[in-house]
Amino acid sequence: MSGVGQVQGATPCTSKLDGILRSLEGRAPSQISVHEGPCCRAAREWFLATARSAFSLWGPEPAWIGRRWSWGPTSWPLHWCEVVERRELDCGALAELAALAWSCTGANVWRVQLVEEAGQEWIEEWQTRWQAAATAPEWIWGERFYHEVVGIAAADSSLRLWDPSAGGWRAEPLESPTRRILAIRMLRLSGPGFSPQPGLSWRGIEVPVGRWSVVALGTSCAGR
């Protein structure tokens, strides 16, 4: 079975989004690697100890991650011993850190992948930053881009999205004129792979686990 929810009434515009989702079908959420020696184990344990301390001092929301690491270009593979030396991390690395920090609070944590749309001025700024760091912005397709966040599920199966790149909850309207989520996929790591689980509800939209769900077509499809 395909892992991509079909875009209904396909046009050149919707087919572009469908093509992006198919290119991402086999892409797992970013994972920070571990060297065989003690360096990465020590770095990861330092992070977990810091996360537990922050939880006791400031509560469950790991906004401290954004104060320690800014969002920016990152080369992969990335190892834990490199994480503690860096000052910038991309959305995938920040999402893994945030997922671990949230796990220390006992929250029901999900890894969430998004395809979003943003204004051209934002896109051009991001492309310039990545190119200046000699890192190809392969996560951008025109006005659309790939992004990773963390999902926190409540007891009623509703899902909220914590964006560690911005240091807060995603709360913009679905029809925001500057940035909008077009598609969402949520996954939960279980052992060596991903386990199927019942879906959750995000802003009243039922989101199945492990499948891309199109939630908007974007401004470039308006009126078509």
What pLDDT digit, counting tens, does each position of 23-45 carry? 999 999 999 999 999 999 999 99
pLDDT at position 6 is 42
Average the pLDDT over each of 4-8, 54-58, 179-183, 207-211 and give the range with the smallest value.
4-8
**Contact present, 163 and 170 (Cβ < 8 Å):** yes
Provide the pLDDT confidence category of residue 182 given band limits of 50, 70 and 90. very high
Could you give all domains of the chain from N- to C-terminal order, each with its CATH number?
Answer: 12-221 (3.10.620)
Residues 66, 1: Cα–Cα separation, whole Å? 38
Return all residues near 87 (Cβ < 8 A) that are at least 6 apart.
Answer: 69, 70
pLDDT at 122 over 70: yes
pLDDT at 55 over 50: yes
Q: What is the pTM of this model?
A: 0.89
pLDDT at position 11 is 47
Return all residues near 194 (Cβ < 8 A) that are at least 6 apart.
Answer: 28, 187, 188, 210
CA torsion 46-104-172-139 (nearest 10°) is: 50
Number of C-beta neighbours around residue 33 at 10 A: 12
Place of tokens 């086999």: 26
